[in-house]
Amino acid sequence: MSAEEFRLLRDHVYSHCGILVHEDMKFVMERRLWPRLEVLGAPDFSAYHRYLRYDANRHVELEAAVESLTTHETYFFREPSQLKAFREELLPTLEKRNARTRRLRLWSAGCSSGEEAYTLAMLLKEERRFDDWDVEVYGTDISRRVLAMARRAEYGPSALRATSADLLERFFLPTGHAKVRVRDEVRAMVSFGHHNLLDEAGSQLVAKMDAVFCRNVMIYFDQSARRKVLRILRDRLVPGGYLLLGHSENLLNLGADFELVHLRGDLVYRRPELPGLLGSESR
Ligand SMILES: C[S@@+](CC[C@H](N)C(=O)[O-])C[C@H]1O[C@@H](n2cnc3c(N)ncnc32)[C@H](O)[C@@H]1O
């Protein structure tokens, strides 16, 4: 792959989904995309780039290219201290705030194979506060392959490495082949859909959310793509709705329109209740 081919392919992938392949990852990109050239019979990366731009099948191929460049690492009950803070400190607030409508909407944005979305549904089941509420958890991802896995809801030991024996017993059923399946009562609370977080128009179809988990997704984006996604996520939150990022992520230098909320066990972000009322504060 020449430097020019790398630049063209990198820019194309970036403008589609925000993932920025750094200069020093050129060889990784080359290695991961090479099988695609073989599948298509493209003689070199310039021909592959032309295919991605102009072929009638370019959208399908772009998905395959992005698929080969993304990381889908995830597991149930990831980042337990954040989940504890969510459960103990934010869910009671949401219960009070939505007491009249008795409706709750959570979104796992960049849900990979579904573990995060199901984890949220399991937390709600554990909590019991929302038992007779209208509750929905949405999981979306740019990869159709992982969404198919999410809908299947069958998992092996790696996905369960942070799941206690109690939770395993309560929320999963053994299927044989050293795998378990998420119980129907949890599956019924979660729906999955294909969605590119950079797609502003597509985002308008997403319901207004009480909380969005967008963890370990934007770490692969540059600042400009992050800004765009944050604007979109903010727009999808109800005023006062919460945004939870991964533990290595923050909104520093992004000028994003969120308040910082200091919980006892974590820092989260919140869309201000009223436009123009910004500032760091405690709950
Ligand atoms: C590392 S996984 C994180 C999964 C989960 N949120 C967690 O923290 O365990 C990142 C996911 O983000 C998805 N992703 C990357 N870019 C995206 C985009 N532009 N729109 C939607 N999903 C995207 C990837 O396909 C991948 O499944």
- Number of domains into which the chain is organized: 2
- Write the pLDDT tens digit of every residue in 142-159: 999 999 999 999 999 999
Lowest mean pLDDT among 76-80, 168-172, 204-208, 275-279: 275-279
Specify if 16 maps to a domain: yes
16 lines ligand 1 (CB under 6 A): no
Contact assessment for residue 94 and residue 210, using Cβ atoms and an 8 Å cutoff: yes
Burial per residue of 24-49, b for 16 or more beta-carbon CB atoms within 10 angstroms, e otherwise: eebeebeebbeebbeebebeebeebb
> Of these residues, 36, 141, 210, 271, which one is catalytic?
141
Q: How confident is the model at residue 274 (pLDDT cuts 50, 70, 90)?
A: confident
The domain boundary, picked from 69, 90, 119, lies at 69
pLDDT reported for residue 82 = 96
Ligand 1 atom closest to residue 143's alpha carbon, by position in its atom list = 25
74 lines ligand 1 (CB under 6 A): yes
Say how many Å lie between the CA of residue 167 and the centre of ligand 1: 25
The domain boundary, picked from 26, 42, 69, lies at 69
197 lines ligand 1 (CB under 6 A): yes
Ligand 1 atom closest to residue 196's alpha carbon, by position in its atom list = 20
Residue nearest to atom 12 of ligand 1 (CA): 110
- Write the pLDDT tens digit of every residue in 23-48: 999 999 999 999 999 999 999 999 99
Specify if 207 maps to a domain: yes
Residue 92, domain CATH: 3.40.50.150
The full length of the chain comes to 283
Asked if 32 is an active-site residue, the reply is yes
Residue 65 and residue 96 share a domain: no
Say how many Å lie between the CA of residue 142 and the centre of ligand 1: 7
Q: Does the pLDDT of residue 255 top 70, yes or no?
A: yes
17 lines ligand 1 (CB under 6 A): yes
pLDDT reported for residue 281 = 46
Residue 53 and residue 27 share a domain: yes
Q: Does the pLDDT of residue 252 top 60, yes or no?
A: yes
Q: Does the pLDDT of residue 127 top 80, yes or no?
A: yes
Specify if 74 maps to a domain: no
Residue 119 and residue 7 share a domain: no
Contact assessment for residue 105 and residue 138, using Cβ atoms and an 8 Å cutoff: yes
Ligand 1 atom closest to residue 17's alpha carbon, by position in its atom list = 19
Say how many Å lie between the CA of residue 70 and the centre of ligand 1: 8
> Of these residues, 7, 32, 151, 183, which one is catalytic?
32
Residue nearest to atom 5 of ligand 1 (CA): 111
The domain boundary, picked from 69, 103, 125, lies at 69
Residue 140 and residue 115 share a domain: yes
Enclosing domain of residue 221:
80-282
Say how many Å lie between the CA of residue 76 and the centre of ligand 1: 15
215 lines ligand 1 (CB under 6 A): yes
Residue 105 and residue 12 share a domain: no
Mean pLDDT of 271-283: 63
Residue nearest to atom 7 of ligand 1 (CA): 74
Q: Does the pLDDT of residue 283 top 70, yes or no?
A: no
Q: How confident is the model at residue 277 (pLDDT cuts 50, 70, 90)?
A: low
Residue 196 and residue 224 share a domain: yes
70 lines ligand 1 (CB under 6 A): yes
Lowest mean pLDDT among 50-54, 170-174, 245-249: 245-249
Residue 233 and residue 206 share a domain: yes
203 lines ligand 1 (CB under 6 A): no
Asked if 166 is an active-site residue, the reply is no
pLDDT reported for residue 65 = 96
- Write the pLDDT tens digit of every residue in 198-231: 999 999 988 999 999 999 999 999 999 999 999 9
Q: Does the pLDDT of residue 233 top 70, yes or no?
A: yes
Lowest mean pLDDT among 19-23, 103-107, 174-178, 192-196: 174-178
CA 281 – CA 283 distance, rounded (Å): 7
Residue 244 and residue 113 share a domain: yes
Q: How confident is the model at residue 265 (pLDDT cuts 50, 70, 90)?
A: confident
Tell me what percent of the residues of the chain surpass a pLDDT of 90: 89
Residue 157 and residue 26 share a domain: no
